[in-house]
A and B are shown apart, each in its own frame.
Chain A
Amino acid sequence: MKRNFILYFSFTLTLAGIFLFAPLIGAAFLRAATGEIITNVELPTLSGDKQPLLTDAAVNVFVFFKPDHENSQTTLTHLNELEREFAGKPVHWTAVVSDSFEPAEIEAEVKALGFTLPVLIDTGDKLYGHLAVAMTPNIGITDKQHKLIADLPFTKVNYTTVIRGYIRHQLKEISDAELQAILNPPRATMGGNGEEAHRHLKYAGKLFQAGLYEKALENVQTSLVKDPNLAAAHALQGQILSAQGLRDEALKAYDTALKLDPSNETALSGKNDLLNNSKQP
């Protein structure tokens, strides 16, 4: 037992040396940078047996938490949900807690949260110290080879989304680009000239269908003020002008539409119709 401890401690120190130069960027494992291999350890569990931190599952997810701690509670609840979501997939889940907390306290917490994943007890905070965990809760995600893919300290916004994203990416369910879109989600801004242009165009289309040409023309022109390069708006303008009998102006509008979008079907057929009609006696 003592020999094991000495071996473990020496190994920890050696690894510590390796990891000391690891970049300390946005991470909570100060001695394990993403891309590095995490040393696997077997730890006693809350239920009395022993279990490894990592397995040969395609994805390993482990979380450092502590009882009576709001962010830990939120995280454990989310992990429970995620575990159910990924049920049947090669994802291994564990939670790690310091042995400085009373087992009864940990048990009560886990029970209250309905947390069903294995809870490993970090005796003497050795694993905590080995990785130099700077935050709690903190989630680590590794691949099958135990390479650290993500080091995720708790965030109040999008935490579960990001964890899910990393797992799905590792399971090859989403692409690199999709993961990036999760990490840096596109801004959901309302309004803007482009949107208003489309709105007026659609409205103009409805007015045109209802035979209200003047109003339709007014709106299509508003659309073009917002976005002068909107080919569909020029094409609709052509249709309206054509319906009003303004052949030359309509042709001009169709030409502008086709200049912007040579494949615009409305403009192609509209222009074609006008030219064919003019050939008829």
Chain B
Amino acid sequence: MKNSLWLNPDVKTRRNNMSLIAFCRRVIKGSAMLLLASLCLAVISCAAEKTTDTANPAIRANQLDPPPPTYRTAAVVVKQSGSMPGRPPQRPLSAGVKAASLHSPFADGNCILCHMKQDPNAPGPLLKPVNEICLDCHGDFKEFLNAKFTHGPTLGSCVNCHNPHNSIYPMLLEENISTLCLGCHSDMKAKTTEAHVKHDATIKDKACINCHNPHGANVEHLLVDLPFNLCVTCHGEDDVIDNEGNRLTNFKELLAENKEQHGPVKNKDCSACHNPHGGKYFRLLDKEYPAEFYSPYDPQLYSLCFECHENRVFEEPQTETLTLFRNGTRNLHYLHVNKTERGRTCRACHEVHASQQAHHIREGVPYGSTGWVLKIRYSPTPSGGTCVKNCHDTKSYNNLTAVSEAKK
């Protein structure tokens, strides 16, 4: 009870019994102890505040004076090296800096609509939690905040990404979109910048938000829509050109004309085969896929196809179960593909997106250097099919009872 000086009811009596010097000593000692305790408390509360801020962006956002940038996570690192000149986050741009976007209440000088005071120099605390203020006017965003898939920073606080006053970036963003997103999603930064084959959609126009809704969405990965519906936004037109000048397929048109569609296309899952963020394989393919018509069989080369299709289909010469493309038990997939030299790759017979013929069989194959197309005329039967003379003589197969060589 050394420090109970101010709490002890008998203090006056005791003080009367003390000499003045002893009393002073006691007071100084007590004050020193209190000062020390206060300092400790201040340090502890400061640390606690810092922890709370890091964990709860909403609390952070509601403070009148925003915490230093180091309180933020990955985005902070970007912010510190970012290009928002001469001001801490969430505050208006410095005088003379030209804003690209301006929030009406701020532009109109109506601090009082969000803050306690109508004083631009000292507007005081916010009227209520920041997201509540934002949603008062931007109520349409409630739809995204209540969507099936939500974004942590958005739920935390709108001002994690937006400046409520003005910004040198569109949409009152604190940084340009890519910098803002990649500040946290650093893995994606590496993917997109190091990709050998790049996707314009990740770079041009609105970058990340060409496909993602950072507020919330009804599709995983905050996609605005199912992948196919998003992809045809660009790839449903005639004039899309790749980086090498090749005209790319108009998929709206292709699918309208070809009703036999590959599973991922039918399931609107372009990302089953393509990596929209870029990668090392041609056409943004996610894994290796033979670009040529002929190739020696190597399972590695078909990594993309074998993500879904069974590799054993191409490795067992006889089967009763692995494929329906067999004559009796003779595996015709194996026969065509599994060769040490001129093995036919998938593209030799199949269209990867859509076709007119059953089993994604393509219309024809290029022959020679003049661009002439050799027609493939395939007709399916309930238990097999026939390929009319083209690459080889007319041949039929039956997966229940083998068609004899003579009949073929």
Q: Are A215 and B138 in contact (CB under 8 A)?
A: no
Q: Determine the chain B residues whose CB is within 8 A of the CB of A263 once the complex forms.
A: none
Chain B, 196-236, contact with A by CB distance < 8 Å: what is the 0/1 string? 00000000000001000101111111011111010000000
- A20-B382, A20-B383, A207-B110 as given contacts; A188 in contact with B140, CB under 8 Å: no
Per a CB cutoff under 8 Å, which of B136, B144, B221 touches A157?
A: B221
Q: Are A157 and B219 in contact (CB under 8 A)?
A: yes
How far, in whole Å, are A162 and B380 apart by their CA atoms in the complex?
A: 32
A window 54-91: CB within 8 A of B: 66, 70-71
A43 at the interface (CB under 8 A from B): no
Q: Are B307 and A185 in contact (CB under 8 A)?
A: no
- A100-B312, A125-B321, A215-B108 as given contacts; A199 in contact with B138, CB under 8 Å: yes
How far apart are A140's CB and chain B's nearest CB, in angstroms? 15
Q: Are B144 and A207 in contact (CB under 8 A)?
A: no
- A158-B220, A187-B229, A206-B137 as given contacts; A215 in contact with B310, CB under 8 Å: no
Tally of A-B residue pairs with Cβ under 8 A?
129
Q: Are A189 and B140 in contact (CB under 8 A)?
A: no
Q: Are A190 and B213 in contact (CB under 8 A)?
A: yes
How far, in whole Å, are A256 and B359 apart by their CA atoms in the complex?
A: 60
Q: Are A185 and B137 in contact (CB under 8 A)?
A: no
A window 170-203: CB within 8 A of B: 181, 184-190, 194-195, 198-199, 202-203
A50 at the interface (CB under 8 A from B): no
Q: Are A187 and B322 in contact (CB under 8 A)?
A: no
What bracket does the count of chain B residues touching chain A fall in? 35 or more
B269 at the interface (CB under 8 A from A): yes
How far, in whole Å, are A100 and B312 apart by their CA atoms in the complex?
A: 10
Per a CB cutoff under 8 Å, which of B112, B137, B216 touches A203?
A: B137
B69 at the interface (CB under 8 A from A): no
How far apart are A153's CB and chain B's nearest CB, in angstroms? 5
What bracket does the count of chain A residues touching chain B fall in? 35 or more
Q: Are B308 and A202 in contact (CB under 8 A)?
A: no
Q: Are B220 and A161 in contact (CB under 8 A)?
A: yes
How far, in whole Å, are A199 and B137 apart by their CA atoms in the complex?
A: 5
Q: Determine the chain A residues whose CB is within 8 A of the CB of B224 once the complex forms.
A: 187-189
17 examples of A-B residue contacts, CB within 8 angstroms: A20-B382, A25-B266, A71-B307, A126-B321, A132-B324, A155-B264, A155-B272, A187-B229, A188-B144, A188-B215, A188-B217, A190-B209, A190-B215, A202-B137, A206-B137, A207-B113, A210-B112
Q: Which of A's residues lie within 8 Å of B, judged by CB? A: 13, 16-17, 20-21, 24-28, 30, 66, 70-71, 98, 100, 124-126, 128-130, 132-136, 153-158, 161, 181, 184-190, 194-195, 198-199, 202-203, 206-207, 210, 212, 215, 219
Q: Which of B's residues lie within 8 Å of A, judged by CB? A: 104-105, 108, 110, 112-113, 136-140, 143-144, 147-148, 209, 213, 215-221, 223-227, 229, 261, 263-264, 266-267, 269, 271-272, 307-310, 312, 320-322, 324, 358-359, 382-383, 400
5 closest Cβ pairs, A-B complex: A129-B321, A185-B218, A26-B266, A188-B217, A202-B137
